[in-house]
């Protein structure tokens, strides 16, 4: 090997090392738990929060759990110093841990992002009753709560829901002065059988509660 070839190899190795440094995720004096933050952001950005949870361990590693049947199943452990591209490949594999029912739910969640409405959504569980709910709420504190939903072919299936509607303020007065009254109604709707709704059906149902014509908001997951 001549001197020219040796310099070329050294230069190539230096560039590779520099590239790895750019791709490396690790703690620094300014940024702590950088790998954990990256994993959290990945799970949230890819609508995986309903299925996976990350936990920062005492040794600064990150444990990822699969959430299934109200249990946390450890499936992946990540160190606090990794190459970004390698970590992304591992995180992209998370979807393969989902079973068929979970995949149906995941596909429906992705469709929720297509709804351009002034509503936020979240999945909640009532620990007292054991009822799982898909909960929508707008900035007027109105809501639609769908009880024990299941998902199939991009549709949501349920039998019972609860709707809160806020009414316009009313003004009144007497000899004591004037006041405004804020009122609302809460009703439970039970269909005669479990029914399927498409995303467009769900959009129409939310619009029946309140439709804001001059404002368009993306549904944002809590």
Please tell me the distance from the alpha carbon of residue 126 to that of residue 42, in angstroms, as a whole number. 27
pLDDT-wise least confident of 20-24, 66-70, 104-108: 20-24
Per-residue pLDDT reduced to its tens digit, 111-133 = 887 765 678 899 999 888 889 99
First to last CA, the chain: 61
Instruction: Say yes or no: 195 and 130 in one domain.
Output: yes
Final residue of a structural domain among 97, 117, 133: 97
Whether residue 187 is predicted with pLDDT greater than 70 in this model: the reply is: yes
Final residue of a structural domain among 97, 125, 143: 97
Instruction: Say yes or no: 9 and 70 in one domain.
Output: yes
Whether residue 8 is predicted with pLDDT greater than 70 in this model: the reply is: no
Please tell me the distance from the alpha carbon of residue 161 to that of residue 182, in angstroms, as a whole number. 23
Final residue of a structural domain among 73, 97, 121: 97
Give the single-character DSSP code of 167.
P
Q: What is the pTM of this model?
A: 0.75
Instruction: Say yes or no: 159 and 82 in one domain.
Output: no
Instruction: Say yes or no: 135 and 174 in one domain.
Output: yes
Instruction: Say yes or no: 72 and 117 in one domain.
Output: no
Instruction: Say yes or no: 24 and 89 in one domain.
Output: yes
Q: Categorize the per-residue pLDDT at 25 as very low, low, confident or very high, splitting at 50, 70 and 90.
A: low
Instruction: Say yes or no: 155 and 54 in one domain.
Output: no
Q: Categorize the per-residue pLDDT at 221 as very low, low, confident or very high, splitting at 50, 70 and 90.
A: very low
Per-residue pLDDT reduced to its tens digit, 61-83 = 999 999 998 899 999 999 888 88
**Which residue range forms the structural domain that includes residue 199?**
102-221
Instruction: Say yes or no: 72 and 39 in one domain.
Output: yes
Instruction: Say yes or no: 77 and 118 in one domain.
Output: no
- The structural domain count of the chain equals 2
Instruction: Say yes or no: 109 and 156 in one domain.
Output: yes
Q: Which two tokens stand for residue 181?
A: 């009254």
**Residue 197: helix, strand or coil by DSSP?**
strand
Q: Kindly state the average pLDDT of the residues 172-201.
A: 86
Beta strands in the chain (DSSP E): 24-26, 52-56, 62-68, 71-78, 81-83, 120-126, 131-137, 143-147, 150-152, 155-166, 170-174, 177-181, 184-197, 220-221
Instruction: Say yes or no: 66 and 107 in one domain.
Output: no
Instruction: Say yes or no: 111 and 191 in one domain.
Output: yes
């Amino acid at each position: 090997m001549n001197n020219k070839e040796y310099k070329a190899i050294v230069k190539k190795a230096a560039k590779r090392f520099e590239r790895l440094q750019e791709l490396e995720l690790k703690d620094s004096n300014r940024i702590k738990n950088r790998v954990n933050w990256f994993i959290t952001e990945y799970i949230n950005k890819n609508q995986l929060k309903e299925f996976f949870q990350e936990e920062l361990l005492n040794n600064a590693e990150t444990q990822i759990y699969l959430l299934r049947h109200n249990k946390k199943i450890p499936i992946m452990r990540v160190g606090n110093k990794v190459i970004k591209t390698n970590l992304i490949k591992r995180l992209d594999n998370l979807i393969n841990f989902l079973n068929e029912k979970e995949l149906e739910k995941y596909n429906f969640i992705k469709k929720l992002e297509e709804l351009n409405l002034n509503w936020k959504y979240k999945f909640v569980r009532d620990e007292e009753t054991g009822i799982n709910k898909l909960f929508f709420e707008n900035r007027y504190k109105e809501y639609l709560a769908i009880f024990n939903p299941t998902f199939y072919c991009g549709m949501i299936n349920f039998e019972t829901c609860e709707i809160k509607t806020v009414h316009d303020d009313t003004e009144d007065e007497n000899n004591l002065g004037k006041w405004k009254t804020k009122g609302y109604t809460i009703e439970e709707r039970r269909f005669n059988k479990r029914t399927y709704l498409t995303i467009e059906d769900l959009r129409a149902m939310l619009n029946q509660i309140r439709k804001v014509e001059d404002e368009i908001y993306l549904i944002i997951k809590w």
